[in-house]
Structure 1
Amino acid sequence: MLDDTDRRILRHYQHDPGLSPADLADLAGVTPATCARRLERLMATGIIRGNHAVIDWRALGYEVEVSLRITLDKTQARAFDEFMDAARDVSHVVEIQTFLGRVDVRLSVIARDMAHYQQIYRADILTLPHIADIEALMHVARIKSDEVLPL
């Protein structure tokens, strides 16, 4: 699927997607035309899903992050779908993960401070449908947050 040239391009691209095509080609040891062609193929096949801005939400005044582990009421046939539809609409939920096991869903919620979190929790989280149980984990520190792959 990927050869050594693709891996070299991806290795440099993931560290700095803002590199010019010529600089990326130079680092990867290929011609600019080869680099451009390979990048297009990597994008077309979905290996590169896109470029996006990474915004430091703490710099915007969001000081609190809470991880909510949620167990759904699975006696309701559409519980999962209805919960997901509603959870996607909560603007302060920045990540949704699903699991197999005792916990069904994990929501990552950000807030400006604890009072703001309490407001979000009461108004937006507790009103989500089909919740059987919630466990809140207060985020203390992010030790590693890296999407760079070992290519």
Structure 2
Amino acid sequence: MLDDIDRRILRRWQADPDMTAADLAAAIGLPAATVARRIERLREAGVLRGVHSVIDWTALGYAVEVSLRVQLDKTAPRAFDTFMAAARKVPEVTEMQTFLGRVDLRLTVIARDMAHWQSLYRDAILTLPHIAEIEALMHVATVKTDQTLPI
């Protein structure tokens, strides 16, 4: 699906995502119009799904990050849908993933401090519907977050 030019564009863009299409074209030695068309084609094919800003939550005063492993009561009809709809309404839930296996979902929750976390846990998390079991893992350090691929 990808040819050498597409791979060159993606490699360069992964290395410097702030690069404009014109700068990208100059860096790989192609006309800007060609690179722009290639980028549009990659978007249409679903290879490029968007451009994201990465927010440093600690810079905004959120010093606590917790990963929650959740098992749902799957005997309840539509337990997943109901739980996910309710969890989406909690602003401090920054990520939600579903799994097959013993853990049904994983939530990432941020809080300003431990007092805020305790309040969130009691008032927002434990009140989510259909929780059968929950385990909280306190985040200590981020070792790797790189989402680049060897293209």
**TM-score interval (norm. to shorter):** over 0.9
Unaligned regions of 5+ residues in structure 2, if any? Answer: none
Letter in 2 for 1:48: L
* Correspondences of 1:54-133 after superposition (within 5 Å): 54-133=54-133
Mapped to 1, the partners of 2:47 and 2:138 lie a distance apart of 34
Write the letter of the residue equivalent to 1:59. A
- Structure-2 separation of matches of 1:76 and 1:3: 48
Q: How far 1:119 sits from its partner (Å)?
A: 0.5
The separation in 2 between residues aligned to 1:105 and 1:39, in whole angstroms, is 34
User: Bigger CA drift: 16-25 or 46-55?
Assistant: 16-25
Partner of 1:3: 3
* Root-mean-square deviation (Å): 1.0
Aligned residue type for 1:33: A
Q: Which residue pairs with 1:26 in the alignment?
A: 26
- Partner of 1:46 in structure 2? 46
Query: SS where residue 77 of structure 1 aligns?
Result: coil
Amino acid at match of 1:145: T
CA distance in 2, matches of 1:124, 1:29: 53
SS in 1 for 2:49: coil
Secondary structure of 2:121's aligned partner:
helix
Aligned residue type for 1:120? L
Report how many aligned residue pairs link the two structures.
151
SS at match of 1:110: strand
Following superposition, the deviation at residue 48 of structure 1 comes to: 0.8
Distance in 2 separating the partners of 1:15 and 1:31 = 20
Deviation at 1:21, TM superposition (A): 2.1
| Identical pairs, percent | 67
Which of 140-149 and 16-25 deviates more? 16-25
The Cα shift of 1:15 comes to 2.4
Q: Runs ≥4 in structure 1, deviation > 6 angstroms?
A: none
Letter in 2 for 1:69: R
C-alpha displacement of 1:31: 1.6
How many Å separate the matches in 2 of 1:66 and 1:19? Answer: 33
- Give the letter for the 1:97 counterpart: Q
Structure 1 gaps, min length 5: none
Q: 1:2-43: per-residue Cα shift (whole Å, max 9, x none)?
A: 111001001111222322322201222322111111011111
